[in-house]
Amino acid sequence: MTDNGGLSRRTMLKGAAGTAFGLGSVLALKGFGTSGLKQDPATCRATDESAHDKNFVISNWPLYIDEPDKGYRSTLQDFEKQTGIKVHYTDDVNDNSEFFAKVKNQLGACESTKRDMFVLTDWMAARMIDVGWIQPLDPAKVPNLHENIIDSLKSPDWDPKRTYSAPWQSGLTGLAYNKKYLKKPVKQYGELLTRKDLHGRVTMLTELRDTMGLILLSQGVDPAKFSDAQWNTAMDALTKATSDGQIRRFTGNDYVQDLSAGNVLACEAWSGDIANAGDDNLVFVPPEEGMMIWADNMLVPNLATREGNAEKWIDFYYDPHNAAKLADYNQYICPVKGAQKAMEKVDPDNVDNPLIFPTDETLKQTHRFMALKEFQTREYERQFSNVTGV
Partner 1 sequence: MPRQGKGRYTAYWLLAPGAIWLGLFFVIPFYSLVSASLFDPNGSVLTGYDVTYHFANFGNAIKNYYPELLRSLWYAGLATLVCLVIGYVLAYAIAFKAGRWRNLLLVLVIAPFFTSFLLRTLSWKLILSDHGFVVDTLQKVHILGSDGRLLNTWFAVVAGIVYNFLPFMVLPLYASLEKIDGRLIEAAGDLYANPFKAFFKVTWPLSLPGVVAGTLLTFIPAAGDFINAQLLGGPGQRMVGNTIQSLFTSTQDYAAAGALSVILMALIVGLVMVYIRRAGTEELV
Residues 203-242 that bind partner 1 (CB under 8 A): 206, 242
Q: Is 131 in the site for partner 1 (CB under 8 A)?
A: yes
Residues 267-326 that bind partner 1 (CB under 8 A): none
- Of 112, 106, 117, 3, residue with least CA distance to 64: 117
Q: Is 68 in the site for partner 1 (CB under 8 A)?
A: no
Please give the angle made by the CA atoms of 312, 318 and 323, to the nearest 5 degrees. Answer: 120
Which amino acid is located at 361 in the chain? E
CB 266 within 8 A of CB 201: yes
Q: How many CA atoms lie within 13 A of 75 on its CB side?
A: 23
Q: Is 98 in the site for partner 1 (CB under 8 A)?
A: yes
Q: Is 263 in the site for partner 1 (CB under 8 A)?
A: yes
What's the min distance (Å) between Cβ of 363 and partner 1? 30
User: Distance (Å, rounded) from C-alpha 14 to C-alpha 305?
Assistant: 55
What's the min distance (Å) between Cβ of 73 and partner 1? 33
Which C-beta is closer to partner 1: that of 103 or that of 343? Answer: 103
Cα–Cα distances in angstroms (integers) from residue 204 to residues 238, 360, 390, in the given order: 10, 27, 12
Q: Is 248 in the site for partner 1 (CB under 8 A)?
A: yes
What's the min distance (Å) between Cβ of 210 and partner 1? 14
**Count of positions on this chain that bind partner 1 (CB under 8 A):** 48
Q: Which of 97, 194, 276, 362 binds partner 1 (CB under 8 A)?
A: 97
Cα–Cα distances in angstroms (integers) from residue 239 to residues 245, 384, 386, in the given order: 10, 9, 9
DSSP 288-308: TT-EEEEEEEEE-BTT-S-HH
Q: How many CA atoms lie within 13 A of 294 on its CB side?
A: 28
Residues 175-204 that bind partner 1 (CB under 8 A): 181, 199-201
Which C-beta is closer to partner 1: that of 33 or that of 71? Answer: 33
What's the min distance (Å) between Cβ of 345 and partner 1? 41
267 three-class SS:
strand
Q: Is 33 in the site for partner 1 (CB under 8 A)?
A: yes
Q: Is 113 in the site for partner 1 (CB under 8 A)?
A: no
Q: Which of 109, 154, 245, 364 binds partner 1 (CB under 8 A)?
A: 245
Stretch that binds partner 1, among 6-14, 253-261, 335-343, 354-362 (CB under 8 A): 253-261
Residues 6+ apart with CB under 8 A from 59: 90, 91, 92, 93, 99, 115, 117, 118, 119
Residues that bind partner 1 (CB under 8 A): 25-26, 28-38, 95, 97-98, 100-101, 104, 108, 131, 181, 199-201, 206, 242-243, 245, 247-250, 257-258, 261-263, 374, 378, 381-382, 385-390
